[in-house]
Amino acid sequence: MKSHHGAEPSKLKVIGIPEGLMIFEQKQLWKKFFESLGCHAVCSGHTTKRIMNSGIELCCNETCLPVKAFTGHAASLCGKADCIFIPRYSSVCSHEKSCPKFCGLPDEVRISLNNKTKFLEIDIDFNRDSKKTQKSLDLLAGELGRSPKTVRDAFDSIVKPGLAAEVSPNRSCSYEPGAPVLAVLGHPYMIFDRLLSMNLIGKLQDAGYRVMTPYDVRRSVRRKNVAPFLSDSFFETGLDMLGGAQALVNLPELAGMVYLSSFACGIDSLVLEIIEHKIRNGRRIPFLKITIDEHSGEAGFDTRIEAFLDMLPNTESIRREKIV
Amino acid sequence: MQKEERMMSEYFLGIDVGSVSTDLVIMDEKEKILSKLYLRTRGDPIYVLTESMKKFQQEFGGISIAGVGTTGSGRQLAGVIVGADIVKNEITAHAAASRKIMPEVRTILEIGGQDSKIIFLKDGVVTDFAMNTVCAAGTGSFLDRQAERLGIPIERFGEYALRSKNPTRIAGRCAVFAESDMIHKQQMGYGEEDIIAGLCEALVRNYLSNLAKCKEIDGPIMFQGGVAANVGIVAAFERMLGESVIIPQYYDVMGAYGAALLARQNYQRTGKQTSFHGFSHAYHTFRTRSIECKGCENHCEVIEVRENDTVMARWGDRCGKWSGQNAASATAVKEGTAS
Amino acid sequence: MKLTFPHMGNTYIALKALLDTLQVDYYVPPTGSRESFELGIANSPEFMCLPFKKVLGDLIQGLNHGADTILFGNSRGQCRLSHYGDLLQNILHDMGYRFHYINLNFRDLTYGEIRNKLEPLLPGGISRARLFSAVSSAVKTIFAVDDLYSEACGVRCRECRRGDADLAIRRFEQRAKAAKGFSQTRRLIRETKDRLAHVPANGAADPVKIGIIGEIFLCSDPFTNLELEKKLGNMGALAVNTMSTSEWIRRHFISAILPIKPKDKAVRAAQNYMHTDYIGGHGIYTIGNAELMCRDGIDGIIQIYPFTCMPEITAKSVLNEVQLQNNVPIMTLILDEMTAETGYITRLEAFVDMLQMRKDRVRSRSG
């Protein structure tokens, strides 16, 4: 592990935290974690056009939009922090796994940024090997010049409980009974990111709908609602989608579902098919699948949403309500 | 050049049969281009090929052709019809031509009708290349279509683009999306010049992001293919690469020129007599047809080329049942591809 | 009861012999069938990976031909293969098929697992010893078949008359379909090897050596990879495939029954680029094998994977670095059902030409 050797501990005062992918949800945890270790944590902030474009420049074409955005976030921290922190999220709890891209993310970003800055990693692989985490925490302790115990304790008390939290930090809105609801499905770092999602949630709310996402459902409920599958583990975000969709589909106020996917996402191709299979064989809810990538124009995106909303049965009344 | 002189020396023929254009070059022993033809393929490569051979026959009927090379997506077909000594892919052919014109060239940008490529060289040797055949947004056909839609002749596209002060940003991974975004921009009232400049930029952006991502583009940079005539695209390239781009004199027939050069190399190396059938051979009738082979589960679509009434070659099968029977003329093709 | 199973390269040859030995009634979906492939594509989600579409197509063919039991399995890895089973069953049920699905655990493919899953199919049951010997023969056959194909690669690029090696392999494939049981299959392999050994070769040939890395289904399945090995060989290049079916057996069957798991050389070699031992699928081997081949001296490497394959995309992100560090060209080919064969051939030809030019230049400098 090259990045863990030979650094002056005193030099690593400011830690950069790129706000993308899984860290999008958990930046507060990591911020607190580093602050408790006496470091200063800088987050990269919202995704901007500039971050997005630099990520697109740096990454290989084949990877997905969120990874490109993440790389842009990391690049934006060069010069603002002594090192950039990228956890290797292989799995956050047993029987769950992340997208393979997360397993290689620290290396991918390091190479994309041409080793321009220093990187810190932590391995999180509770499904396959939780000892890896301990090992990587010890290395991190060496880098920061803290005792391994302090770092392990900080991780166990601050980060660990939040990795698979019951309640997500990102929730779309309060839920009022009786109002027509649109369910928005998608990875949290897509649907809650205004730029990546082209403000999908905001646009739906402006059209007079109440938006709910799987992250408005408690994690244990999301997990309980997943139908059994053959393998003994499943993609974490996939479970959120499957369980969340199943929980939301039973809401009487549900008017439709929108699935926001990034172009060529492997997990979505699988999860979408299972959800569509459920909808085909169960309550037939109007379902819109939107795929976006860096080439998507907002005009076409808006057109599709408008057309979908016009297709929903009780559109008329909502529209009238909005005018009043 | 005097007619007698022509009779004395040896010449080489290069043919590039692409999906949009068919280019032919006659080159002399000193590797100078004697004559070139650039024609639209219009979906009938055999017709275009035989017509251009007839044209050459009238003009250069008496000269001695010592070697023939074919390239392009129709290289195999052209090879069979004219009797080629060497059949090469477009990348190798383009690299050969650019290297001849400028030995120190480092990057070749090529935008054709249906595909586009980038070739990297060092000391005259190809070190890397990329080719795009899926995405139409980075090709000449895309520009043609948009020109038609805007009602502006494609030849004048460049000057329109250069007049723009503020190019419109046109989004789109593929031609279909880019087109819808362009229509949208048009309806929102953007000026023609800005839209055209935006299209040029979108094409160059797509081209670079598809083909040159994470790759060092070093100069000298040469830009060839039919689209190189478009000054708007040239300007967009120069702006985005921050370096000047060289357009060779014969930018539109570089593939054919490369094929001729490779034919000459092949001739020098092997000293073999050419398999060229002669220009007058173009007066024979050639027909192609496709047969679905029911020999196995693969149901290969076999292409058969007939000259008058004899089968000259068949290909397209996976097992070799048909292509294995190819006559001597086709063996040259195979050797060419294999060498 | 009639069993069917999907194709992956040439595994069917060994699997057929195994089922013959166990006296199970089966239907082998047609090999290299465009029709099956199109059935699979038409009924699969758009962005699912190519192997899934191929597998689904084969199974539909099997069910259409009277099969009522599907033999397949799932892994536990971080790739979509773990969920092929769920999706296949969903889709086939929605299409109106009724069938029994046998789900082998690929991650832990021990004799016990095979026995547990196959025994219910055998009306008279089967003794441990007989199953052990039959499965062992099947594994040996898979290795022998792969060995045959890699020998064909060695012959093809050096043969004096183009097509000799192809002809031998074609004869083999035709006769393998009719062969019954292990002994016939083995004899056939021996005869074909003999035939290959007698193909007149150009002794002076010094072909460029091209390593093949990437997603294992595509690497080992000539139908989906558009006969990559054969095409390279006919262009005069020696193809070295690192991801054959036997490689799969070595990783999933042999390592599952081994008491000690040896540290993988490829995984170690990958550490220069990826500080982890797992990035899903065989992604880490893609990087490791590329590095190992570069060290051993290879002229060029081709990475091949299906569009949207997650582990291979992750691996690709560092392959550029492998290429820079070792100065060995690596070309990535991403395949989907829309891949045009002409463009594919052009790329391969240009790659082989490029490697040949590089090799000639090195030779002319040193000589």
Instruction: Report the 3 state secondary structure along chain B.
Output: CCHHHHHHCEEEEEEEECCCEEEEEEEECCCCEEEEEEEECCCCHHHHHHHHHHHHHHHHCCCEEEEEEEECCCHHHHHHHHCCCEECCHHHHHHHHHHHHCCCCCEEEEECCCCEEEEEEECCEEEEEEEECCCHHHCHHHHHHHHHHHCCCHHHHHHHHHHCCCCCCCCCCCHHHHHHHHHHHHHCCCCHHHHHHHHHHHHHHHHHHHHCCCCCCCCCEEEECHHHHCHHHHHHHHHHHCCCEECCCCHHHHHHHHHHHHHHHHHHHHCCCCCCCCHHHHHCCEEEEEEECCCCCCCCEEEEEEECCEEEEEECCCCCCCHHHCCHHHHHHHHHHHC
The secondary structure element, H or E, covering residue C156 is: helix C128-156
Q: Are C111 and C230 in the same domain?
A: no
Q: Are B117 and B241 in the same domain?
A: yes
CB contacts < 8 A, B to C, total: 84
Nearest CA in chain A to C44: A273
Interface test with C, best of B296, B314, B321, B326 (most C CBs within 10 A): B296
Residues above pLDDT 90, as percent of chain C? 65
Cross-chain residue pair B181–A60, CB shorter than 8 Å: no
The answer to whether C44 touches C53, Cβ cutoff 8 Å, is yes
Distance (Å, whole) CA B15 – CA C215: 38
- Name chain B's partners: 3 or more CB pairs within 8 A: A, C
Q: Is C290 exposed, middle or buried (0-12, 13-18, 19+ CB in 10 A)?
A: buried
Cross-chain residue pair B338–C166, CB shorter than 8 Å: no
Our CA-based measurement puts residue A58 at a distance from the nearest CA of chain B, in whole angstroms, of: 7
Q: Please state the separation of Cα A278 from the chain's center in Å.
A: 24
Q: Are B159 and B72 in the same domain?
A: no
Bigger pLDDT: C340 or A155? Answer: A155
Q: Are B260 and B297 in the same domain?
A: no
Nearest to A264 among C94, C278, C308 (CB): C308
Q: Does residue B220 have a cis bond before it (omega within 30 degrees)?
A: yes
Instruction: Tell me the pLDDT tens digit for each residue of C13-72.
Output: 999 999 999 989 999 999 988 899 999 999 998 889 999 999 999 999 999 999 999 999
Interface test with A, best of B173, B188, B216 (most A CBs within 10 A): B173
Nearest CA in chain B to A56: B209
Distance (Å, whole) CA C352 – CA C341: 16
From first CA to last CA, the distance across chain C in angstroms is 67
Residues above pLDDT 90, as percent of chain B? 26
Q: Which of A305, A299, A306 is nearest to B185 (CA)?
A: A299
Cross-chain residue pair A295–B172, CB shorter than 8 Å: yes
Specify the CATH number for the domain of residue B85. Answer: 3.30.420.40
Residue C202 lies inside a defined structural domain of this protein: no
Q: Are B275 and B290 in the same domain?
A: no
What's the pLDDT score for residue A314?
A: 64
In single-letter form, the type of residue at position A157 comes to S
Quick check: helix, strand or coil at residue C253?
helix
Cross-chain residue pair B180–A61, CB shorter than 8 Å: no
Nearest CA in chain B to A53: B209
Distance (Å, whole) CA A301 – CA B117: 31
**B234-273 residues touching C, CB cutoff 8 A:** none
Distance (Å, whole) CA B184 – CA B171: 11
Structure tokens given for C1: 């009861």
Q: Are B113 and B69 in the same domain?
A: no
Give the domain extent around B128: 103-247
Residues above pLDDT 70, as percent of chain C? 99
What's the pLDDT score for residue A3?
A: 44
Structure tokens given for A59: 């990454």
pLDDT band at residue B116, thresholds of 50, 70 and 90? confident
Structure tokens given for B228: 């190189």
Distance (Å, whole) CA A44 – CA A23: 11
Nearest to C350 among B91, B297, B298 (CB): B91
Instruction: Report the 3 state secondary structure along A48-107.
Output: CHHHHHHHHHHCCCCCCHHHHHHHHHHHHHECCECEEEEEEEEECCCCEECCHHHHCHHH
Give the domain extent around C324: 207-366
Structure tokens given for B26: 């006659």
Cross-chain residue pair C346–B324, CB shorter than 8 Å: no
Distance (Å, whole) CA B32 – CA B97: 11
Q: Are B176 and B278 in the same domain?
A: no
Q: Of the residues C73, C98, C130, which one is the last residue of a structural domain? A: C130
Q: Are C86 and C227 in the same domain?
A: no
The answer to whether C17 touches C156, Cβ cutoff 8 Å, is no
Q: Are B112 and B233 in the same domain?
A: yes
ipTM: 0.88
Structure tokens given for B153: 């002749």
Nearest to B181 among A60, A294, A299 (CB): A299
From chain B, the residues in CB contact with C162 under 8 A are: 334-335, 338
Q: How many CB atoms lie within 10 A of CB A147?
A: 12
pTM over cut 0.80: yes
Polymer length of chain B? 339
Q: Are B69 and B88 in the same domain?
A: yes
Residue C264 lies inside a defined structural domain of this protein: yes
**C325-344 residues touching B, CB cutoff 8 A:** 329, 338, 340, 342-343
Residue B139 lies inside a defined structural domain of this protein: yes
From chain C, the residues in CB contact with A60 under 8 A are: 313, 316-317, 320
| Token pair 């593939």 in the structure block, residue | B255
Nearest to A61 among B171, B180, B209 (CB): B209
Count: domains in chain C = 2
The answer to whether B107 touches B167, Cβ cutoff 8 Å, is no
Residue C82 lies inside a defined structural domain of this protein: yes
Our CA-based measurement puts residue A65 at a distance from the nearest CA of chain C, in whole angstroms, of: 13
Quick check: helix, strand or coil at residue A29?
helix
What's the pLDDT score for residue B177?
A: 65
Reply yes or no on whether the pLDDT at A181 is more than 50: yes
CB of B123 within 8 Å of a chain C CB? The answer is: yes
Residue B336 lies inside a defined structural domain of this protein: no
CATH number of this structure's domain A181-323, picked from the four choices 1.20.1070, 3.40.50, 3.30.470, 2.30.30: 3.40.50
Cross-chain residue pair B126–C350, CB shorter than 8 Å: yes
Q: Are C212 and C126 in the same domain?
A: no
From chain B, the residues in CB contact with C346 under 8 A are: 73, 89-91, 131
Ranges B69-78, B120-129, B293-302: which has the least confidence: B293-302
Q: Of the residues C112, C130, C148, which one is the last residue of a structural domain? A: C130
Specify the CATH number for the domain of residue C329. Answer: 3.40.50.11900
Q: Are B68 and B159 in the same domain?
A: no
Residue C148 lies inside a defined structural domain of this protein: no
Give the orientation angle of helix C164-178 with respect to helix C128-156, to 10 degrees. 160
Reply yes or no on whether the pLDDT at A156 is more than 50: yes
Q: Are B53 and B17 in the same domain?
A: yes
What sign results for the dihedral spanned by CA atoms A154, A156, A160, A161?
negative
Q: Please state the separation of Cα A257 from the chain's center in Å.
A: 19
Interface test with A, best of C317, C322, C331, C332 (most A CBs within 10 A): C317
Structure tokens given for C30: 């047609």
What's the pLDDT score for residue C60?
A: 97
Nearest CA in chain A to C283: A100
Q: Can you name the CATH fold of A2-163?
A: Rossmann fold (3.40.50)
| Token pair 């002189």 in the structure block, residue | B5
Residue C79 lies inside a defined structural domain of this protein: yes
Nearest to C347 among B131, B299, B334 (CB): B131
Q: Are B57 and B109 in the same domain?
A: no
The arithmetic mean of pLDDT across residues B26-36, rounded, is: 91
What sign results for the dihedral spanned by CA atoms C124, C130, C132, C133?
negative
Mean pLDDT for chain B? Answer: 83
Specify the CATH number for the domain of residue C97. Answer: 3.40.50
CB of A229 within 8 Å of a chain B CB? The answer is: no
Q: Of the residues C130, C146, C180, which one is the last residue of a structural domain? A: C130
Reply yes or no on whether the pLDDT at B337 is more than 50: no
From chain C, the residues in CB contact with B123 under 8 A are: 361
Cross-chain residue pair A106–C275, CB shorter than 8 Å: yes
Bigger pLDDT: C144 or B207? Answer: C144
Bigger pLDDT: C280 or B175? Answer: C280
Nearest to A297 among B171, B210, B214 (CB): B171
Instruction: Tell me the pLDDT tens digit for each residue of A42-98.
Output: 999 999 999 998 998 888 878 899 999 999 999 999 999 999 999 999 988 888 889
Cross-chain residue pair A293–B173, CB shorter than 8 Å: yes
Ranges A269-278, C38-47, C244-253: which has the least confidence: C244-253
Our CA-based measurement puts residue C194 at a distance from the nearest CA of chain B, in whole angstroms, of: 21
The answer to whether A200 touches A260, Cβ cutoff 8 Å, is yes
Q: Are B81 and B48 in the same domain?
A: yes
What's the pLDDT score for residue A7?
A: 43
CA distances from C199 to C157, C159, C229 (A): 11, 7, 18
| Token pair 């949800």 in the structure block, residue | A25
The answer to whether B336 touches B88, Cβ cutoff 8 Å, is yes
Distance (Å, whole) CA B299 – CA B276: 33
Our CA-based measurement puts residue C195 at a distance from the nearest CA of chain A, in whole angstroms, of: 43
CA angle in degrees (0–180, nearest 5) for C312-B118-B73: 90
Cβ-Cβ contacts under 8 Å for C142 (sequence gap 6 or more): C11, C14, C245, C246, C249
Residue B243 lies inside a defined structural domain of this protein: yes
- Name chain A's partners: 3 or more CB pairs within 8 A: B, C
Dump the DSSP string for C91-149. Answer: HHHHTT---EEEEEEGGG--HHHHHHHHGGG-TT---HHHHHHHHHHHHHHHHHHHHHH
Interface test with B, best of C224, C349, C351, C358 (most B CBs within 10 A): C349
Cross-chain residue pair B177–A295, CB shorter than 8 Å: yes
What sign results for the dihedral spanned by CA atoms B325, B326, B327, B333?
negative
Count: domains in chain B = 3
Distance (Å, whole) CA B249 – CA A269: 49
Would you list the domain boundaries of chain A?
2-163, 181-323
Distance (Å, whole) CA B24 – CA C60: 49
Cross-chain residue pair B171–A263, CB shorter than 8 Å: no
CA distances from C188 to C15, C86, C151 (A): 15, 38, 15
